[in-house]
Structure 1
Amino acid sequence: MEKTSTASETANWIEDSIEHTNKSVARASWKDYVAITKTGIVISNLITVFVGLFLAAYYTGTSLIQEPLTAIAALLGSTLILAGGCSLNNYIDRDIDPIMDRTQDRPTVSGTLLPDQVLKFGLSISIAGTTLLALASLSAALIGVVGLVVYVVLYSMWTKRTTTLNTIVGSFAGAAPPLIGWAAIDPSLHPLAWSLFLLMFVWQPPHFLALAMKRSDEYKAAGIPMLPVVAGFAVTKRQIVLYTATIIPVSLLLVPFGTVYMLVALVMGGGWLALGLAGYKMNDDIKWARLMFVYSLNYFMILFIVMIIVHMF
């Protein structure tokens, strides 16, 4: 009798699992798959891919119009590999996403996408993206794969959950896109390409540490050792100011970009540093972090747009 009951319960559990799976598959739409790719992150990184692509063409005397397939392969491949990395990050973070307010609406939390679906999707588009990058150049594909591994394995799976250095590790991956774009045209990677990489690398810690201050309660609840959670706001503010001070000389390494770029970089960097220093007199740390976060986005957009403009005339 007991065996019959156990068999019946097992059968019911299997039936419920199959029904749940079928419902999840039925509810899933293309919008859910788009949602797990984090389109905002993909688009912002794609901007730096294009800048790398455009500048490499300029400094090598190549016309993107004459190399349309290379440009398309680089941009589309970068889009897919970036989206793949973000999707795999969704898969890895599915245990902590329900705890954080900003991630509670993800399809992996609502159940509209099952973990296996997310994993297969992330791996598939990452492989497709790598293949397209290889059509542009093997160097671009290699950089793309290294960036993907750093973001998914070293950042998402390891350091994000174990150390405050996670921001630094993640910055290596976030600084790879301009190198990908440059390598698609110039696989040897001109020193200017590495200057772009360094600029992106230094930009990210103050950007993400400001975000971590804003979301410190959520990170604490999720057990993520972000710097504001582990060391407090005072230490985090000092780190942010240090990086904003460092980004000024780093941005000025791009001397060949001309006087207009240098002036914009100096003014934007100086403004960011001034806002950072003002934080020591502000009583509301969260408000200051919010201002620093918004400024970092404006700094990023304005500086990279100027890079394109000064090379068009």
Structure 2
Amino acid sequence: MKNGQLLSETTAGSSSKFLSLLIDIKYLLKGKVLVANVLPVFTAYWLALYFNGEQFIDHWGLFLLTMFGSTLVISGALILNNWYEVDLDRKMVRTQNRPTVNGNFSLKAVLWSGIITSIIGLVFMLFTTLEAAIYSFLGWFVYVVLYTFWTKRKFTLNTIVGSVSGAFTPLIGWAAIAPASHIVPIVFFCILFIWQVPHTFAISIKRLEDYTRAGVPMLPVVYGVDVTIRQIIIYVIALLPFPFFLTTSLGWFFLVFAVFLTIGWIILALKGPRAKDVKKWAQMNLRYSLIYLILLSFAMIILTSPIID
């Protein structure tokens, strides 16, 4: 009886430790951020197959290399971001569960994990195409060096720099199949660049106290919430023209759907100046931005689904 109970307790303890490890990894990789960056890679890869007349079954190995390699590169960048910003994260409420803050992972281990993960990811990408590998490195370099190491702590421009990094993801996916000089990946790049600005501004309003306490020069910290709200409105409106450039490629249904999504976001954004609870409004914008990206990506995939035939 005692032996059985001891075995049960040991198993439960092991399961608990493993679950805790997975939770720590999720926080280290900023789970939602990782998914939001990998999704455009997959979407653009799918689109590239369609527009270049290729079949998925003929490139399943390349698909695995692209997705695995890009995920590792993005993960490596996020890990290095966590390692470098541990002093800021210790001052923020929203980052207290990160293993770099609670001490579950040593900073040395996190640093080497970020370096090794980045290198392995870039090596995998070299087995796809040189162009895809270059885009992967550029996205990593902008995020780690230009954003994390340089602009994040010094300039409100940090949001723009970080947005450039994330916008490389569709170029990575497309370039694994063909040169990314096509109108679709270029417009997708522009959409993602603009999309990330109001998305990030919404986060900075929602977590204003955190950023103020940590001394991070986000736009609402330096210039105030009212200015940031106006910027959100401007950037969301700036998304409106881009679906028109994809009408020839993706059809009228996509145009109507994308414009409808954008108008919905514009209406929500315009409520900002009159919002009684600005943080609640910012949270709604944050959620809508994620829904916007997911639905836009899925629409692109579904409308090119005959590739599976």
Instruction: Check whether TM > 0.5.
Output: yes
How far apart, CA to CA, are the structure 1 residues paired with 2:273 and 2:108?
A: 47
Contact 1:139 1:187 in 2 (8 A): yes
Taking the TM superposition and a 5 Å limit, the aligned residue runs for 1:207-226 are 207-226=199-218
Q: What letter corresponds to residue 53 of structure 2 in structure 1? A: G
Q: CA deviation at 1:53?
A: 0.2
Taking the TM superposition and a 5 Å limit, the aligned residue runs for 1:146-295 are 146-255=138-247, 256-295=249-288
Q: CA deviation at 1:222?
A: 0.1
Taking the TM superposition and a 5 Å limit, the aligned residue runs for 1:1-313 are 29=21, 32-255=24-247, 256-313=249-306
How far apart, CA to CA, are the structure 2 residues paired with 1:76 and 1:39?
A: 16
How far apart, CA to CA, are the structure 2 residues paired with 1:294 and 1:74?
A: 28
Q: What letter corresponds to residue 281 of structure 1 in structure 2? A: R
Q: CA deviation at 1:29?
A: 4.5
Contact 2:183 2:246 in 1 (8 A): no
Contact 1:179 1:189 in 2 (8 A): no
Q: Find the counterpart in structure 2 of residue 21 from structure 1.
A: none
Q: CA deviation at 1:189?
A: 3.1
How far apart, CA to CA, are the structure 1 residues paired with 2:110 and 2:234?
A: 38
Q: What letter corresponds to residue 193 of structure 2 in structure 1? A: F
Q: Which runs of 5+ in 1 are unaligned?
A: 1-27
Q: What letter corresponds to residue 285 of structure 1 in structure 2? A: V
Size of the aligned set, in residue pairs, is: 286
TM-score, normalised on structure 2?
Answer: 0.90
Q: What letter corresponds to residue 216 of structure 1 in structure 2? A: L
Contact 2:27 2:97 in 1 (8 A): no
How far apart, CA to CA, are the structure 2 residues paired with 1:122 and 1:189?
A: 31
Q: Which runs of 5+ in 2 are unaligned?
A: 1-19
Contact 2:73 2:119 in 1 (8 A): yes
How far apart, CA to CA, are the structure 1 residues paired with 2:29 and 2:279?
A: 28
How far apart, CA to CA, are the structure 1 residues paired with 2:63 and 2:172?
A: 11
Stretch of structure 1 that moved more, 233-242 or 189-198: 189-198
Contact 1:84 1:124 in 2 (8 A): yes
Q: CA deviation at 1:188?
A: 4.6
Q: What letter corresponds to residue 294 of structure 1 in structure 2? A: R
TM-score, normalised on structure 1?
Answer: 0.89
Q: CA deviation at 1:244?
A: 0.5
How far apart, CA to CA, are the structure 1 residues paired with 2:289 and 2:57?
A: 32
Q: Secondary structure at the match of 1:248?
A: coil
How far apart, CA to CA, are the structure 2 residues paired with 1:43 and 1:295?
A: 16
How far apart, CA to CA, are the structure 1 residues paired with 2:275 and 2:95?
A: 29
Q: CA RMSD in A?
A: 1.3
How far apart, CA to CA, are the structure 1 residues paired with 2:136 and 2:38?
A: 12
Residue by residue, what CA displacement relative to the aligned partner does 1:262-301 show, whole Å, maximum 9, x if unpaired?
1111111011101111222222211211111111111111
Residue by residue, what CA displacement relative to the aligned partner does 1:138-189 show, whole Å, maximum 9, x if unpaired?
1111110111010011101111100111100000011111110000001353
Contact 2:180 2:186 in 1 (8 A): no
How far apart, CA to CA, are the structure 2 residues paired with 1:251 and 1:273?
A: 15
Contact 2:243 2:254 in 1 (8 A): no
Higher Cα Rg: structure 1 or 2? 1
Q: CA deviation at 1:105?
A: 1.1
How far apart, CA to CA, are the structure 2 residues paired with 1:101 and 1:178?
A: 33
Q: Secondary structure at the match of 2:152?
A: helix
How far apart, CA to CA, are the structure 1 residues paired with 2:235 and 2:23?
A: 37
Q: CA deviation at 1:61?
A: 0.7
